[in-house]
Every structure is written in structure tokens, then in C-alpha cells.
């Protein structure tokens, strides 16, 4: 089907998905660009394709002009293809687990997701007051890896209780003490990365069974949350 008007009912509905409020109402989000569209298709969550050319994908497709693509896109240079996707249903918790406490920067979250896949983590649990995982900057920063890992957004305190009942030890991060990450390599450890500016909340810190730290130069106060998470996951997965 071809659409030429930016006032078309379909276009207006798609444009609303740029806002979290409407994404949550519809349980639907947009992905932009050929790579992300193909990763979403592999995951089986694509509901509709929007493109400036005819496509051959086996899902409902709409051909639009550049004005419509500009209206829908969050990028400086709008892509030639986008997809409307269903929210990704979480799986059961298993294997290596990373918990994120109040991560606010979408670039950080996307990078953490990408690193988690790279270092063979199985589940990421994101606190409810963290940045939206369907924020377009998160999706782009993940380089499509958001489709390759189990992600759960939930209350961390209840999830930590569940993890402990499943036999996990909860390992927090603390620049002032703790053990080196290499001492925690088994899959029954769940690591927590705290907020970019304030670290873990007091409530979450009190639920930890132990702590790890990353040795760094005394001239550096702390590491970026995504960098710290990546180092921890690398060390925990490195045989």
C-alpha cells in the first residue's frame, strides 16, 4: 500500500510511537534502518514495514515518501526503511544475570545491552525507574543486540528476592572495597550496576551478598556506567 500524506491516519499513529506514553499503550515501538529491521524480523516481532521502496518481506508493508519518513524518524538523516514492532516478551531468568539500578542515559543502556550479548550474559533486569529500553537511542546504541538477550523491566527489590530464591548471589559494585570480579565467574552470580551519578541506591546496596571493584588509577574518580558494566561482564565471562 502507498501513503503520500503526512496527515494520513496510519502515519499519525506511527508518529505517536516516538513517545513512551503511546509505546506503552500500544505495546509497540519503531526501529529504524535496514540492520535493525532485519534483526527485528529474525526475532519475529515485526508487525508492519514502512519504506520508501517496495519490499519483499512477508509482513504488511507500506511505501511512503521522504516527508513521511522524516516525520517518523528520530534520526538527522532519516532511513529508507523502518519497522513497527511488538514489545519483546521476557523469558525465564537463567545463566549470567546483570541488574541495572536507575540507569538514565539511553546510550549507556544500549551499550550495556550490546556488551552483555558480547560477553555471554543471558538476562538483564532493569529497574522500573531506568530509561525506557525502547527509546530509539537505546535501540541504536545496542546495534540490534536488544533482540538477542532476555530483558526484564521490573522492581529490583522483588527481582533480587526471586534471584536469591533461585540460588543466585547478588554482587554489587563498590569503588571503596570488595573483591576483584575474576573471583565471581559462575553463572549463579548476579551483578548490579548503579546509577551513573549516584551508584546503587541504599536499599539495593543492603540486599547485596558481596561487592566487587575495578582497580583504576587514583587520578580517576569513577568509570562510566557502561564501561564499568562491560569490564565486569568481560571479567566474569573470561575463562
- Per-residue pLDDT at 231: 96
Q: Grid coordinates in use for 201? A: 541506591
Long-range contacts of residues 223-227, Cβ cutoff 8 Å, at least 24 apart? 224/108, 224/196, 225/103, 225/105, 225/108, 225/112, 225/193, 225/194, 225/195, 225/196, 226/107, 226/108, 226/109, 226/111, 226/112, 226/115
Nearest to 4, CA basis, from 90, 65, 66 = 65
Tell me, what DSSP letter sits at residue 229?
H
Q: Grid coordinates in use for 22? A: 503511546
Q: Grid coordinates in use for 168? A: 543466585
- Per-residue pLDDT at 88: 97
- Per-residue pLDDT at 186: 73
pLDDT tens sequence across 122-180: 999 999 999 999 999 999 999 999 999 999 999 999 999 999 999 999 999 986 768 88
Domains within the chain, CATH numbers bracketed: 2-86 (3.30.1330.30), 97-237 (3.40.1280.10)
- 170 contact partners, CB below 8 Å, separation of at least 6: 99, 160, 163, 164, 190, 192, 207, 208, 209, 210
Tell me, what DSSP letter sits at residue 161?
H
Nearest to 74, CA basis, from 129, 138, 24 = 138
- Per-residue pLDDT at 239: 62
Q: Which residues of the chain have pLDDT under 70?
A: 175, 177, 239
- Per-residue pLDDT at 235: 93
- Per-residue pLDDT at 18: 97
CA distance 6 to 12: 7
CA distance 191 to 193: 7
The number of C-alpha atoms within 13 Å of 36 and in the hemisphere containing its C-beta is 25
Three-class DSSP category at 199: strand
Amino acid at each position: 500500500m502507498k501513503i503520500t500524506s503526512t496527515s494520513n491516519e496510519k502515519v499519525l499513529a506511527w508518529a505517536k510511537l516516538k513517545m513512551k506514553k503511546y509505546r506503552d499503550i500500544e505495546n509497540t515501538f519503531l526501529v529504524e534502518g535496514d540492520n535493525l529491521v532485519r534483526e527485528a524480523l529474525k526475532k519475529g516481532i515485526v508487525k508492519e514495514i514502512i519504506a520508501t521502496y517496495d519490499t519483499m518481506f512477508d509482513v504488511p508493508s507500506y511505501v511512503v515518501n521522504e516527508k513521511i519518513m522524516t516525520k517518523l524518524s528520530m534520526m538527522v538523516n532519516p532511513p529508507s526503511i523502518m519497522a513497527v514492532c511488538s514489545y519483546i516478551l521476557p523469558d525465564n531468568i537463567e545463566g549470567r544475570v546483570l541488574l541495572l539500578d536507575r540507569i538514565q542515559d539511553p546510550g549507556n543502556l544500549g551499550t550495556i545491552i550490546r556488551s552483555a550479548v558480547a560477553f555471554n550474559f543471558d538476562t538483564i533486569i532493569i529497574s522500573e525507574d531506568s530509561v525506557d529500553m525502547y527509546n530509539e537511542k537505546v535501540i541504536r546504541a545496542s546495534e540490534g543486540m536488544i533482540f538477542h538477550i532476555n530483558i526484564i523491566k521490573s522492581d529490583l527489590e522483588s527481582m533480587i528476592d526471586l534471584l536469591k530464591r533461585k540460588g543466585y548471589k547478588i554482587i554489587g559494585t563498590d569503588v571503596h572495597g570488595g573483591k576483584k570480579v575474576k573471583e565471581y565467574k559462575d553463572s549463579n552470580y548476579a551483578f548490579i550496576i548503579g546509577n551513573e551519578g549516584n551508584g546503587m541506591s541504599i536499599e539495593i546496596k543492603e540486599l547485596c551478598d558481596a561487592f566487587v571493584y575495578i582497580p583504576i588509577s587514583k587520578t580517576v574518580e569513577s568509570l562510566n556506567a557502561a564501561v564499568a558494566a562491560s569490564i565486569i561482564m568481560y571479567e566474569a565471562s573470561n575463562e
